[in-house]
Each structure stands twice: as structure tokens, then as C-alpha cells.
């Protein structure tokens, strides 16, 4: 029997790559994000490129809206795997110059969004008898860096929720895994962070010979969810070889 995976933030980057990988692993995949046109295009692409793919179902979702998350839960029905990937960073201001609305937005998406979707799908995950929640946090959720305050705080909180969830679900048939990537070159993450400023958005990747790409993170997710049901992969920290810490990147410039 095919299992169903729900991937939030599936309209680009790591979420889209994860959806492709899970489809290739034989899952039915629910693609969830705000931009429906991109989800439709991805569903079509997976249908055409993954031989024998299961059902690929696009669902419009805003993780900051309870009504939207309720509608997702109603549309999904059965669920074995939930990948909480929707999220991102806004700005690089110091604490002294923090833009509080951006901190609030990061908390709302990366933390409350994760909790909202998890709460809504937890009954189905438990009911499946072999559920799995995978939370995409970040290296920023473990190692602070200057200018990272708001994002660091949100991702540290997401890490905390991930750990609490595993403790609370220990007697339930649900695994909980955190995937914490370092620098990943995705097309939109940095552009969103710097509000569409392409020059600033390119800076983090400047001279970095081989950053991670979205597929590298998708590979980690696919590996974790395809272990035998009694094996819980607690956390995967994954960085490019040329990165030893958020602030310790080898650049060829």
C-alpha cells in the first residue's frame, strides 16, 4: 500500500526537491504552499518524469492561517509523513536594529506554522500506525551568527518544538526527525530574505565552490523516512564540505 506524504513549502527549493524524491520513493505526495500555479506545474512535472508515480495532489496552503491549515487536513485524509519545510529568513539586521515585524513573521511561519500543521495532521499520523514528522530547521537553529537574530531565534524555537514533540510522542507510532541544513543554494531563499534584492541575495553564495543544493537535503529526508519503522533518525546536520560553521565558509575569491 502506498503511503501519503505531505510536504509544506513544496512550491520551490527544498520542498519541491523533497516532493520529487518522495514521489520517486513511491509515496503519494500532497504539495502544499501558497502559490498554487507552481504546485500545479510541479505536479505535472512529477507525473511526467517519475515513472509509476502515485497521486500528486496540489493544495493551496498558508501555514500562518488556521482556516487554511484546517482545509489542508480535510483535503489530506490519511497521512504517514509530514515534512514541515515551509519557512525562511527575513533580513540580516542586528539585534540593535531589529525589524520586529520581520521577527514576528519568521516566528509565525517557521514555528507557529510548523506547530499548526503538525497539530492538524497528528491524528492522521498516529492513525496511520507508522507516522513520521520531519522538521526542516537549519544550522541557524543551533549556531547563532551576527545578523541572524530573528532567524536564529525562530529556528532555535523550531528545534525545541521538534525535541518536545519527540518526547511527547514516545508512546505513539510516530517518528520525529529534524533535518538542519547549512548553506543551500536554492533559487528563492536568499531573494526572499533580502526582499528581491538580487545583488544582496547572491552574496552568501559568492565564491562558495559547491554549496548544498535542494536535492542534497531532499536526499536526507528520503533516507530518514525510508528507515525501518522502529528506527528514529533524531537529527541530520548537513553542510557543504566547504562550510564548517555558519560564519566559517571557504570562499574561492
Kindly tell me which residue out of 148, 150, 181, 240 binds ligand NAP, with binding defined by CB under 6 A: 181
CA angle 101, 185, 41 (to 5 degrees): 85
Kindly tell me which residue out of 26, 57, 64, 115 binds ligand NAP, with binding defined by CB under 6 A: 64
Mark whether 145 is an active-site residue.
no
Binding mask 67-96 for ligand NAP (x = CB under 6 A): ------------------xxxx--------
Binding part of the chain for ligand NAP, among 3-11, 48-56, 226-234, 245-253 by CB under 6 A, reads: 3-11
Binding part of the chain for ligand NAP, among 75-83, 177-185, 194-202, 234-242 by CB under 6 A, reads: 177-185
Indicate the residue among 109 and 177 with the shorter CB distance to ligand NAP.
109
Q: Does 11 bind ligand NAP (CB under 6 A)?
A: yes
- Whose grid coordinates read 533516507? 223
Q: Does 138 bind ligand NAP (CB under 6 A)?
A: yes
Indicate the residue among 127 and 206 with the shorter CB distance to ligand NAP.
206
Kindly tell me which residue out of 3, 6, 7, 13 binds ligand NAP, with binding defined by CB under 6 A: 13
Q: Does 63 bind ligand NAP (CB under 6 A)?
A: yes
Q: Which of residues 98-137 bind ligand NAP (CB under 6 A)?
A: 109, 113, 136
What is the sign, positive or negative, of the torsion defined by CA atoms of 193, 199, 200, 205?
Answer: positive
Indicate the residue among 26 and 142 with the shorter CB distance to ligand NAP.
142
Which residue's CB atom is positioned nearest to ligand NAP?
A: 13
Tell me how many residues contact ligand NAP (CB under 6 A). 30
Per-residue 3-state assignment (H helix, E strand, C coil) for the chain:
CCCEEEEECCCCHHHHHHHHHHHHCCCEEEEEECCHHHHHHHHHHHHHHCCCCCCEEEEECCCCCHHHHHHHHHHHCCCCEEEECCCCCCCCCCHHHCCHHHHHHHHHHHHHHHHHHHHHHHHHHHHCCCEEEEEECCHHHCCCCCCCHHHHHHHHHHHHHHHHHHHHCCCCCEEEEEEEECCEECCCHHHHHCCCCHHHHHHHHCCCCCCEEHHHHHHHHHHHHCCCCCCCCCEEEECCCCEEECCEECCCC
Which amino acids are annotated catalytic?
151
* Chain contacts with ligand NAP (rule: CB under 6 A): 8-9, 11-15, 33-35, 61-64, 85-88, 109, 113, 136, 138, 181, 183-184, 186, 188-189, 192, 214
Amino acid at each position: 500500500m502506498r503511503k501519503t506524504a505531505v510536504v509544506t513549502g513544496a512550491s520551490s527549493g527544498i520542498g519541491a526537491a523533497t516532493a520529487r524524491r518522495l514521489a520517486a520513493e513511491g509515496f503519494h505526495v500532497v504539495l502544499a504552499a501558497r502559490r498554487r500555479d507552481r504546485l500545479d506545474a510541479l505536479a505535472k512535472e512529477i507525473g511526467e518524469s517519475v515513472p509509476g508515480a502515485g497521486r500528486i495532489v496540489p493544495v493551496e496552503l498558508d501555514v500562518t492561517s488556521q482556516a487554511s491549515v484546517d482545509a489542508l487536513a480535510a483535503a489530506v485524509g490519511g497521512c504517514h509523513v509530514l515534512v514541515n519545510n515551509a519557512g525562511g529568513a527575513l533580513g540580516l539586521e542586528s539585534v540593535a536594529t531589529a525589524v520586529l515585524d520581520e521577527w514576528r513573521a519568521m516566528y509565525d511561519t517557521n514555528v507557529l506554522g510548523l506547530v499548526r500543521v503538525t497539530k492538524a495532521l497528528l491524528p492522521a499520523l498516529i492513525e496511520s500506525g507508522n507516522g513520521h514528522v520531519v522538521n526542516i530547521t537549519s544550522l541557524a537553529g543551533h549556531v547563532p551568527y551576527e545578523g541572524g537574530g530573528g532567524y536564529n531565534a525562530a529556528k532555535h524555537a523550531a528545534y525545541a518544538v521538534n525535541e518536545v514533540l519527540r518526547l511527547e510522542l514516545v508512546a505513539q507510532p510516530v517518528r520525529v526527525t529534524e533535518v538542519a541544513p547549512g548553506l543551500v543554494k536554492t533559487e528563492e531563499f536568499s531573494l526572499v530574505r533580502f526582499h528581491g534584492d538580487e545583488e544582496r541575495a547572491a552574496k552568501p553564495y559568492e565564491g562558495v565552490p559547491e554549496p548544498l543544493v535542494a536535492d542534497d537535503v531532499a536526499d536526507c529526508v528520503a533516507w530518514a523516512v525510508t528507515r525501518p519503522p522502529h528506527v528514529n533518525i533524531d537529527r541530520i546536520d548537513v553542510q557543504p564540505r566547504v562550510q564548517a560553521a555558519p560564519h566559517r565558509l571557504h570562499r574561492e575569491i
